[in-house]
Structure 1
Amino acid sequence: MDIVLTGRHIQIKQKFRDVVESKMNRVTAIAPDAQRVQVVLSHEGNPRLHDTAVRVELTVIAGSTVVRAEASSLDEVSALDLALDKLTLRLRRARDRRKDHRKNYSPVPVDAGKFVPPSEEREDIMGDEPADNSPANAVAGDLGPGESVEVHVGDTPIVIRRKLHIAEPMTIDEALYEMELIGHDFFLFVNKDTNRPSVVYHRHGWSYGVFEIDTPENVKKLEEERKA
């Protein structure tokens, strides 16, 4: 398994590299088919966030499966341990999920009720983050697969980030599975059954929801086709 370390606003010391390599056997023990793990180490310069100044992000690629976890702490080793705990838990869920599907696993029922936006969590998936001085370019213009743009809006602290992801349409059950793997409270996808942009989200306990988006024109067109 390839191990790729990247530092953001922090220099990666050889001691930390050695610690990472020694702990990655936890990953291969659960996911022997893992081909690559990316470790991103970043540092928060704000002194008020001293207790969580160091962040470690882990991304494991095993075939078409991507599992991700992150954690912050006072130092890099503590942050690594916390992120590894989350990562191994999600890897076990992915492994058990595959076993359940071989045993005729039943899809998880979801409620299409009112959508309550979850707390925002920063998403840093592999790829470069080119900057741009024009805020308009953050929400307009063409982007290639994996490309992104991030800009500040004037003199405000607001940052707009836009990135293009290419993904095959999937079922709601598959979207729930992917959401659990990346550890977020929501997951954006294209519903294979309706071809609509959709979001699955975690409500409470083992309860989930699904929220779909469509235009009035398209809904009207579909209704007319049903009546025809």
Structure 2
Amino acid sequence: MKLFIRGRQITLTDSIKKYAEDKVLKVEKFNDSIIKMDVTLSAAKLKTGNAHVAEILVYLSGSTLKSRATEQDLYVAIDRAIDGIEPQLKKHKEKHSRAKVQDDSAKKLYSLTNDENFESDEKKLVKVYLPIKPMDVSEAILQLENLNKVFFAFTNVETGKMAVVYKRKDGDYGFIEE
């Protein structure tokens, strides 16, 4: 993880830099996908008097989180900005771990076991589940290829109806929708 601490309209002393760095590095434990963190410390004049602003930008893979705090004391502003970014990082990590679990459970639905195959008058009846997430036709074709199946049933994102893509004998793809 890269960490950048900048001062805007303020002189950053070693003790301020060290304090901000120590606080920010403690936040890293809440999410392991942090790429870069920018901390901007500045002084501002408000109607109520002078104030200090601490702004933290956290760059994750695919998203950016931001927290900003304005206080009379710079150290308190840093603490409040850290307190604002922690729940965001926790929520982001939880959201991605839930998405991964949901994705893994969707993959399990595709793997057919012998318990799901039923013998009925010399013909097999195979139970097939639709994926949880609706998708478009091109994504369904990719799934068909990745799973190495003859056909793939899915819910069409454009129409909301059940649809099937299949590989034809001539190498092209067919598409059936209810």
Q: Which amino acid aligns with 1:4?
A: F
Higher deviation after alignment, 56-65 or 23-32? 23-32
Aligned position for 2:36: 36
**2:17 corresponds to 1:13:** no
**2:33 corresponds to 1:64:** no
Q: Which amino acid aligns with 1:82?
A: R
Q: Is the 8 A contact 1:54 1:74 kept in 2?
A: yes
Listed one character per residue, the Cα deviations across residues 60-93 of structure 1 (whole Å, up to 9, x for unaligned) are: 1122221111111111110010000110110000
CA RMSD of aligned residues (A): 1.9
Aligned position for 2:77: 79
**Which structure shows the higher strand fraction?**
2
Q: Which amino acid aligns with 1:76?
A: L
Dislocated runs of 4+, deviation >3 Å? none
Aligned position for 2:87: 89
Q: Determine the C-alpha separation between the residues in 1 that align with 2:93 and 2:35.
A: 15
What SS is found at the alignment partner of 2:29?
Answer: helix
TM-score by length of 1: 0.42
* Offset, 1:49: 3.2
Q: Is the 8 A contact 1:6 1:39 kept in 2?
A: yes
Q: Is the 8 A contact 1:26 1:88 kept in 2?
A: no
Q: Determine the C-alpha separation between the residues in 2 that align with 1:32 and 1:100.
A: 15
What SS is found at the alignment partner of 2:45?
Answer: coil
User: Map of 1:129-168 to 2, 5 A cutoff?
Assistant: none
Q: Which has the higher contact order (CA 8 A, sep 6+)?
A: 1
What SS is found at the alignment partner of 2:17?
Answer: helix
User: Map of 1:121-200 to 2, 5 A cutoff?
Assistant: none
Point out where structure 2 has 5 or more consecutive residues left out of the alignment.
Answer: 104-157, 159-178
When Rg is computed on C-alpha atoms for both structures, the one with the higher figure is 2
Distance 1:15 1:47, change over 3 A: farther
Aligned position for 2:168: none
* Offset, 1:32: 2.0
Aligned position for 2:45: 45
Distance 1:103 1:35, change over 3 A: closer
Aligned residues, how many?
A: 104
Q: Determine the C-alpha separation between the residues in 1 that align with 2:81 and 2:72.
A: 13
* Offset, 1:42: 1.3
Listed one character per residue, the Cα deviations across residues 95-144 of structure 1 (whole Å, up to 9, x for unaligned) are: 11112223439xxxxxxxxxxxxxxxxxxxxxxxxxxxxxxxxxxxxxxx
* Offset, 1:57: 0.3
* Offset, 1:47: 5.9
